[in-house]
C-alpha cells in the first residue's frame, strides 16, 4: 500500500475556540471526501464543545473509504485529546486496518498491471490511469496521485485529448487543495468552446467546471494573504458551483465578502457585491451578511462591526480563514477608518469612537497607526483630542503637475532635435572589435539608432 500523506494530520492549534451553539451536523453536511474529514479534525482540535462529535464523525467517515493512514492518525489524535471519552466504537480497529490495507494493496497491483497490459493502446490505458488516480486519491496518497496526473497529462497532450486534459487539470486541483491550497497554481485553462454531452456527463456543466477552478484559485489567494485578488476571484464564481470536495456555497459568500471588505472601497463594495445578482445569491445563504455589507457601505460601522464580531468564532473555526482572521479584521477596521475620515477636514476622536463602537483610547491608537503608515494624511491634536487633515493646496498641486508635464515635453523635444541633427550630418558611430568584444559590426548610422 502506498503511504498516505495524511489528510487528517492537522496540527493542534494553541488557540481553542468555544462555540456552544455550533451546529456541526448542518455545517459538515455541505462537504464530502477528504475536505469533510480535514475540516472535522480541524474543528475537533480547535473547539472543545464539539470535539467528541467531530472526532467521532471524522472516524466514521474515514472508515467508509480507503485512507488507512488518515484513519490511524485521526484515531491517535482523538485518543490523545479525549482518552476513554472517545468510546470503544471509535477506537483503533486493527481488523479494519489490516483488511483495508490488503484490499488497497491488491487493488494497487491490479491497476498497475492493467495499465502495463494496455500500454500500447491509448484509450484503455488512459481509462486505467484515470482509475488509478482516483484510487490513490481515495487512499489519501495525493503525492503519488499527482505523479500519475502528470503522466496521464503527458499522454493526453501527445494525443491532444480534450477530455483527458480536463480530467488531469481537475484531478490536479484536488491533489493540491487537500492540504491548504498554497501549492495550487492559479492559472486558468481554456475550456473547449463546444461543451458536448459527453463532457457534461463526466464533469457537469461548463459553468460549474469554471466555478470549481475559480474557487481553487480564490482559496489559493486567500491562504497567501492576497485578499484583494481573492475577492476579485470569488465575486466572479457562478452560483452553479457544485464541488463539496473543495468548498461550499456558504464559504464562497463568507470568503468573498470578508476579503472584499478588507480591500474594496465602499463604492466598489456596492457595485461588486450588493448590485451583483450572482454573488448576492451566495450572500443570501448566510444570515445577516447582506445587511452587514449594507451597513458598512452606508457608514453604519458600529452595526456592521457588531455583526462582524458575531462571525468571529465561525471564522476561527474555518480551515482556511482561521490563521488570517486577525489580519482580515484589522484591515477591515482600518479601511473603514480611512474611508470615514475622507470627507472631513477635522473630526473629534470621541465622535469617531462612538461611530465605530470602540473606546476613545482604542480609536486614538488606530489613528496613530494609520497616520504613521501614511494611510491617513492627518495629525492629532492631543489637547483637544481632534484629528485634523493636512492642508492640501489644490492650486499648487495643479501648477506642479503642469510644470512637470511641460518639462517632460521639453526633454523629449530636445532628444528629437538632437537625433534629427545627427541624421542631417550623416553622423555615425564605429564599433571597434576591441571595444565590442567580437567581430566588428561596422558603423552604426544615426538613423539606425534609438532616440537618445
Q: Do you know the residue count of the chain? A: 452
Q: Could you tell me if 323 and 11 are in contact, meaning their C-beta atoms sit under 8 angstroms apart?
A: no
Residue 376 half-sphere exposure toward CB, CA atoms < 13 A: 29
Q: Could you tell me if 380 and 349 are in contact, meaning their C-beta atoms sit under 8 angstroms apart?
A: yes
pLDDT at 157: 76
pLDDT at 36: 94
Q: The cell 467521532 sits on which residue?
A: 56
pLDDT at 12: 46
SS3 of residue 431 by DSSP: strand
**119 vs 132, 171, 381, CA distance in Å?**
14, 21, 79
Give me the sign of the Cα torsion angle 254, 255, 256, 258.
positive
Residue range 62-88, pLDDT digits in tens: 999 999 999 999 999 999 999 888 988
pLDDT at 442: 54
Q: Could you tell me if 215 and 247 are in contact, meaning their C-beta atoms sit under 8 angstroms apart?
A: yes
The three cell numbers locating residue 122? 491509448
Residue 4 pLDDT exceeds 50: no
pLDDT at 9: 40
Q: Could you tell me if 246 and 219 are in contact, meaning their C-beta atoms sit under 8 angstroms apart?
A: yes
pLDDT at 448: 53
Q: What is the largest CA-CA distance in the chain?
A: 98
Residue 2 pLDDT exceeds 60: no
pLDDT at 10: 41
Residue 374 pLDDT exceeds 80: no
For the beta carbon of residue 417, count every other beta carbon within 10 angstroms: 10
The three cell numbers locating residue 372? 504613521
Residues 34-60 have a mean pLDDT of: 94
In the chain, the percentage of residues whose pLDDT exceeds 90 is: 43
- Provide the terminal-to-terminal Cα distance of the chain, rounded to the nearest Å: 68
pTM: 0.78
Residues 136-162 have a mean pLDDT of: 86
Q: Which residues have C-beta within 8 Å of that of residue 218, sequence separation ≥ 6?
A: 230, 233, 234, 237, 252, 255, 256
The three cell numbers locating residue 198? 459527453
Amino acid at each position: 500500500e502506498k503511504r498516505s500523506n495524511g489528510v487528517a494530520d492537522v496540527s493542534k492549534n494553541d488557540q481553542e475556540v468555544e462555540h456552544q451553539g455550533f451546529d456541526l451536523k448542518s455545517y459538515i453536511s455541505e462537504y464530502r471526501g477528504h475536505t469533510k474529514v480535514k475540516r472535522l479534525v480541524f474543528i475537533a482540535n480547535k473547539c472543545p464543545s464539539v470535539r467528541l462529535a467531530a472526532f467521532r464523525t471524522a472516524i466514521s467517515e474515514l472508515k467508509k473509504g480507503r485512507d488507512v493512514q488518515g484513519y490511524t492518525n485521526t484515531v491517535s489524535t482523538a485518543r490523545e485529546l479525549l482518552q476513554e471519552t472517545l468510546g470503544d466504537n471509535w477506537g483503533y480497529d486493527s481488523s479494519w486496518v489490516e483488511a483495508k490495507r490488503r484490499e488497497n494493496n491488491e487493488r494497487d497491483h491490479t491497476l498497475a498491471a492493467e495499465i502495463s497490459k494496455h500500454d500500447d493502446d491509448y484509450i484503455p490505458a488512459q481509462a486505467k490511469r484515470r482509475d488509478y488516480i482516483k484510487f490513490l486519491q481515495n487512499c489519501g496518497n495525493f503525492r503519488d496521485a499527482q505523479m500519475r496526473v502528470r503522466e496521464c497529462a503527458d499522454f493526453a497532450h501527445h494525443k491532444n485529448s480534450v477530455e483527458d486534459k480536463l480530467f488531469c487539470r481537475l484531478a490536479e486541483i484536488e491533489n493540491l487543495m487537500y492540504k491548504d491550497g498554497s501549492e495550487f497554481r492559479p492559472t486558468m485553462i481554456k475550456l473547449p468552446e463546444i461543451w458536448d454531452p459527453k463532457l457534461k456527463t463526466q464533469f457537469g456543466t461548463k459553468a460549474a467546471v469554471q466555478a470549481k477552478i475559480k474557487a481553487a484559485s480564490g482559496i489559493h489567494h486567500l491562504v497567501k494573504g492576497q485578499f484583494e485578488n481573492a475577492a476579485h476571484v470569488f465575486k466572479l464564481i457562478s452560483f452553479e458551483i457544485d464541488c463539496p470536495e473543495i468548498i461550499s456555497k456558504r464559504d464562497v459568500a463568507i470568503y468573498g465578502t470578508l476579503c472584499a471588505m478588507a480591500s474594496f472601497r465602499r463604492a466598489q463594495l456596492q457595485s461588486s457585491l450588493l448590485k451583483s445578482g450572482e454573488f448576492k445569491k451566495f450572500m443570501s445563504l448566510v444570515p445577516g451578511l447582506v445587511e452587514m455589507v449594507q451597513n458598512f457601505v452606508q457608514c453604519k460601522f458600529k452595526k456592521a462591526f457588531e455583526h462582524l464580531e458575531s462571525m468571529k468564532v465561525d471564522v476561527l473555526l474555518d480551515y482556511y480563514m482561521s490563521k488570517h482572521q486577525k489580519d482580515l479584521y484589522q484591515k477591515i477596521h482600518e479601511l473603514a477608518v480611512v474611508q470615514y475620515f475622507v470627507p472631513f477636514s477635522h473630526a473629534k476622536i470621541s465622535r469617531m469612537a462612538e461611530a465605530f463602537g470602540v473606546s476613545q483610547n482604542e480609536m486614538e491608537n488606530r489613528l496613530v497607526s494609520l497616520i504613521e503608515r501614511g494611510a491617513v494624511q492627518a495629525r492629532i491634536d492631543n489637547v483637544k483630542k481632534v484629528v485634523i487633515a493636512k492642508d492640501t493646496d489644490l492650486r499648487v498641486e495643479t501648477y506642479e503637475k503642469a510644470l512637470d508635464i511641460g518639462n517632460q515635453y521639453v526633454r523629449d523635444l530636445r532628444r528629437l532635435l538632437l537625433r534629427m541633427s545627427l541624421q542631417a550630418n550623416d553622423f555615425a558611430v564605429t564599433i571597434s572589435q576591441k571595444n565590442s568584444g567580437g567581430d566588428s559590426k561596422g558603423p552604426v548610422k544615426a538613423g539606425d539608432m534609438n532616440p537618445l
